[in-house]
Amino acid sequence: MFEWVSGAWSYSFALLLSASAGVVAEKFLNISGRLVQPLWYKTFGRIHRQRRLRRETRLLGSGETFAVGAAKHEIYVRQFAVDGFRPEHLFSATLPAQSAGGLVDRLPTRLQPGGAADLERMIEDKRRELDAAPGAWNAEMLALRRLEVSRVGSHELPALKLHYAKTDYASFQVISSEWEKRFAEGLAGGEILGEELLDVLPGLSHSFGINLTIETADDHLLLTRRSAKTSGGRNLRHISVNEGMALMDLDPKTGLPDPYRTALRGISEELGIDLENEPDIRNRITFHGLICDVTRYEWALLGHVNLTQTGWTNASFIAARRLGMGPDDWESNGLDFIPMTKAAVEEALRDDAEWVGHGYMNLVLSAMHRLRSDHRAILAAVRSALV
């Protein structure tokens, strides 16, 4: 019974969203992590895949991504688990740091955002620029370089193993910017094959983000609007927290990157709320989705923080902002609270024109995670928005 329900939800999610984008879904996203293939797909899928490979079908228009948000970034949902990934099934590993030029050199020519030597010079120029700019610095970051999707136990619970490597902000800025230019020009990005998205392309991946929706003790969803001072998504609606993984997020006991530490740091820095000592806080943070913003080639782990039945009310977050407790609260223009109800979430999802693309997708998946009985209405709202 459980498998049938999971399959039905997955089929609805992929079919409705794909229809809204004007394409036929080639894969069906199973919210528990499994690919669900209906009978017609199994019958004709092999022939279709062979033809697609012979034609070298491009990513755009193949049904693998959705154009989302004000900038219509192409968002790829690599994995979505409606129950989320249990903390013990979310694994981390590290890889040796490598130069951006060396990684780019190993990409197929059609996927290179520029010549390796030219990119290395641009990165060095960016480092000098950051060092000279008041209030700016070239922060050390962690980049996603490899991923493994699996299932564990007799119930086949979804699991992720994410492999990270050290990088810096200058490398991220240059590679993402140059890739986005080529993507827009159709010189490289449009030629990514759907199957190439199943794994990370290390030459393009120089960051990793943690994005969160927060549900307060008042049963409200906390949303934000990006500040005009941010480098991306200016003045657009966004979810609660958007934080990049950094070296400070290593677990001191294991030395491995810890997405929960990134999540808690992001909440503290952007909203001024310290949840480190909140009882059972890690079980209140549910990571449910892994996506890639293909337009800028940025991978992110999406999640939801459930603070119902705690003392963290809407007023708590408002007070923290007024007191200036969040050092990075300048990244948003203010806080917006909407009821965590079908009607309110439907309304927020009905139009993606004022949204940051990956923020909108996080709201979709968090709504699917929290409002399970209303998933048909949620999907209908998303379908109308992404037509």
| CA-CA-CA-CA dihedral for 187, 189, 194, 199, to nearest 10 | 130
Least confident range from 75-84, 155-164, 179-188, 347-356: namely 179-188
Using CA atoms, how far residue 331 sits from 113, 207, 327, in Å, is 28, 18, 9
Angle between helices 2-20 and 375-385 (to 10 degrees): 20
Look-up: residue for tokens 């923290």?
320
pLDDT at 149: 96
Which phi and psi angles does 176 have, rounded to 5°?
A: -65, -40
Grade residue 331 by pLDDT with cuts at 50, 70 and 90: confident
Using CA atoms, how far residue 341 sits from 234, 304, 338, 377, in Å, is 27, 15, 8, 11
| Single pTM value for the model | 0.84
Per the prediction, the chain carries an average pLDDT of 84
Which residue ranges make up each domain of the chain?
Answer: 67-385
Which phi and psi angles does 110 have, rounded to 5°?
A: -65, -15
Residue 24 has pLDDT above 50, yes or no: no
Look-up: residue for tokens 């979810």?
239
Maximum mean pLDDT: which of 47-51, 105-109, 304-308? 304-308
**Which of 380, 387, 346, 343 is closest to 363 using CA atoms?**
346
Q: What is the DSSP letter of 194?
A: G
pLDDT at 191: 65
**What does the alpha-carbon distance between residue 384 and residue 352 come to, in Å, rounded to a whole number?**
10
Which phi and psi angles does 83 have, rounded to 5°?
A: -85, -10
CB 18 within 8 A of CB 62: no
Grade residue 17 by pLDDT with cuts at 50, 70 and 90: low
Is residue 338 packed enough to be buried (19+ CB in 10 Å), middle (13-18) or exposed (0-12)?
middle
**What does the alpha-carbon distance between residue 205 and residue 371 come to, in Å, rounded to a whole number?**
33
| Residue, of 234 and 243, whose pLDDT is higher | 243
Asked if CATH classification 3.90.79.10 holds for the domain at 67-385, the reply, yes or no, is yes
Sign of CA dihedral 142, 144, 147, 151: positive
pLDDT at 136: 86
Grade residue 282 by pLDDT with cuts at 50, 70 and 90: very high
| Residue-wise pLDDT tens digits, 156-170 | 999 999 999 999 999
| Residue, of 88 and 110, whose pLDDT is higher | 88
Residue 323 has pLDDT above 60, yes or no: yes
**What does the alpha-carbon distance between residue 160 and residue 33 come to, in Å, rounded to a whole number?**
10
Give the type of residue at 180: E
Regarding beta strands 90-94 and 157-168, do their DSSP bridges make them parallel or antiparallel, or are they unpaired? parallel
User: What would the mean pLDDT of 293-320 be, rounded to a whole number?
Assistant: 97
Look-up: residue for tokens 């977050």?
317
**Which of 106, 99, 98, 104 is closest to 116 using CA atoms?**
104
User: What would the mean pLDDT of 97-120 be, rounded to a whole number?
Assistant: 95
Residue 9 has pLDDT above 60, yes or no: no
pLDDT at 176: 96
Residue 144 has pLDDT above 80, yes or no: yes
